[in-house]
Amino acid sequence: MLAPEIQAAVDCWLTPAYDIDTQATIRAMQVAGHHEALTDAFYRSLEFGTGGLRGIMGPGSNRMNRYTLGMATQGLCNYLIQCFPGQEIKVAIAHDSRNHSPEFAQIAASIFSANGITVYLFDGLRPTPELSFAIRELGCQSGCVITASHNPKEYNGYKVYWNDGAQIVAPHDQNIIAEVNKITSVAEVKFAADNSKIIGIGADIDARYFARAKQLSIDPAAIQRQHDLKIVYTPIHGSGITLVPGLLSEFGFSNISVVEAQATPDGNFPTVQSPNPEEKNAMQLALSQAQAQDADLVLATDPDADRVGMGVKNNAGEWVLLNGNQTAALLTNYLLTARHRAGQATERDYIVYTIVTSEILGDIARRHATKSYQTLTGFKYIAGLIRTLEGRETYLGGGEESYGYLLGDFVRDKDAVSACALIAEMAAVAKDQGRTLYQEMVQMYADYGLYLEDLISLTKKGMRGAEEIQEMMAGLRTNPPAAIAGLPVVEIRDYKTGKITNLLAGTVAETGLESSNVLQFILADGSKISARPSGTEPKIKFYFSVKQPLKSVVDYDLATRLAQDKIRAIIADMGLV
C-alpha cells in the first residue's frame, strides 16, 4: 500500500491536467501492484544538481517527462522575466541523441516562446559545448540542452545555462527552484508555442565554433607534417559525430576513421551497455578497429560530447585506455610545454582542476611557473572561476578526473570536441619527435613522480538509497578513521563545514570554497581519499589518489604495481569491496 503522501501525488497525475497516455501508464502500475516503482516515481520532485535536471524517463514527479520539464522551464521563464525586466530575452536550446530529446527540446522551445522569449533552436542534435558557445555568441540570457550525458539509456535530463554560457550556480539555481515550486498545477505551464519567436540555427554556429576552436592549435606545423596520423573515433551513437570529425579535419588531420557501427545517433545505444567513454565496454569496438588498422590514437565521446576517452598503444604495442586524470595531466603538460616552446607563455596564465583530480596538475603548473587553482567538483565551478578572473588573468585549460576538459574560454563547460582536436595535436607533436603518447605519459611521471588514481562508485537507488548515502557520509563525519591501510590520517578536509583539520598540529583552517558535501582524508604518505555523493546520480563516489616514487621510465611498470597495491589496501581497509 502506498504512503498517503505518495497516493495523493499519484491521484494528482490521474486528473485531466495530464495526458491520457500518462494516466494509462500510472493506472497500469497501480493494477500491477508496482508500489515500490510508484513510490520512487512520486516521492519527490526532480531538483537541479551539479548537472541540472536529470532522471529516468517516465511518468511521475521524480521522472523526466514533459510535465517535469515543463514546470522547470516555466519556472526558468518566470525567473528570467524577473531578472531582465523590459529587455528582449533570448535563449538557445540544443539536444543530444537520447530518446525523446528532440521532443523535449521542442517542448522547451514552445514554453519559452509562449512566454515571449526569443528561442534559438538548433536544427538537429549538437554537442553540449556548442550550446554553451552559442549562448555567448548570440548574446542570450540563458539556454538549455536536453541530455543525460553518459547515463544509461533510461535517463534524460535538462542542463540549464546562464548568460555567460556556464551552468547555473547559486543563487540562480535555488531561485529557479523556488519559482518552479510556486507552480502548483501544470495548467500554469504555457505549452502553446509562438512559432514567430523560434529561430532555427545550425551550420552558421558550427562554422563560428570551428573558427574559435582552431585558434587553440599551438603547433600546426607538426600537424602538417603528421597530417596522416591514424585516428579512430567513435561518438558512441551520440552528438559528437556532428562536430568532432569536422574539427579534426579543420585542424589538418586527414586520416580519420569513424566506427561506423556507432556513428549513427541512437538513444538506445545498441552496441554498448552504457554510453560512457570511462568504461572499456563502450570503447571496445574502437579499440578493435584501431588494432586492425594499426592506428595511432583512439578517441571516444559520450552522447552529448562533453567527455572524451582515449586509447594509446603501450611499449609492447598493446592498446590501453587512459583514465581521466592521465588525460588531464597529459593535456596540461602539453599546453604549458608547447606554449613555452612557442613563446606564448605569460605571467597571467593559469590552469584549474578540481579537488578530486590528480595533484600532478598542480605540480606541472608550478614547474612552468604558471598559477593553478582548485575548485569543487563540477565544471560550473571552473566556469565560475573563469568569470571571476576574466580580464585579469588568462585561462589556459582545466579538467576533472571524470573525463571532462576545457581548453580556452570561448566555451564555459567541458568540451570534448576541442579536447579531441588538442589530444590529436598532442599525439602528432609526439610522433613528430619520434615518440608515442604513451611514452610521453611515462616520461611525464618520471619527471613528477607516479600519481595513480582510482574510483569506486556505489549505486544506491530510490528513496532508501538516498538515505543510505547520507548515513554513510554522516558516519564518516562522526566517526572518522584514525588510520587507513596502516597509515595515520593526518588531515581531514570537510568541504561541507569548510574546515581543514590538521590532526598533527591540532589546527583548523578554512577551505576557501563554498559548502559541498565532500570529505577528504589525507594520509601520512600524502595519499588522498575523497568521499562524495553524486549531484546527478543515485551514487556515492570514493576517490583514491596515491603517489609512488619513479626515478626512471624503466621502473614505470614496477611503480605502477606498487601504487595499485597501495590503493587496493586502502579500499580493503575501508570495507568498500
Catalytically active residues are: 149
The Cα 347–Cα 252 span in angstroms is 30
- Bridge partners (DSSP) of residue 349 are 394
| The three cell numbers locating residue 454 | 582510482
Q: For 541-550, b where at least 16 C-beta lie within 10 A, e where not — what string? A: bbbbbbbbeb
The Cα 131–Cα 209 span in angstroms is 10
Least Cα distance to 491 among 469, 513, 470, 511 occurs for 511
The Cα 144–Cα 157 span in angstroms is 10
Classified as helix, coil or strand, 225 is helix
Least Cα distance to 64 among 95, 31, 28 occurs for 95
What is the torsion angle, in degrees rounded to the nearest 10, for the CA atoms of residue 374, residue 375, residue 377 and residue 381? Answer: -140
- Bridge partners (DSSP) of residue 379 are none
Strands 507-510 and 499-502: antiparallel
CA distances from 335 to 364, 417, 444, 542, 560 (A): 10, 16, 13, 29, 25
The Cα 403–Cα 200 span in angstroms is 31
> Residue 226 is which amino acid?
Q
CA distances from 222 to 299, 420, 427 (A): 19, 16, 10
Cβ(444)–Cβ(329) under 8 Å? yes
| The three cell numbers locating residue 51 | 548537472
CA distances from 252 to 129, 161, 220, 224, 428 (A): 21, 32, 8, 6, 11
Least Cα distance to 318 among 462, 161, 436, 233 occurs for 436
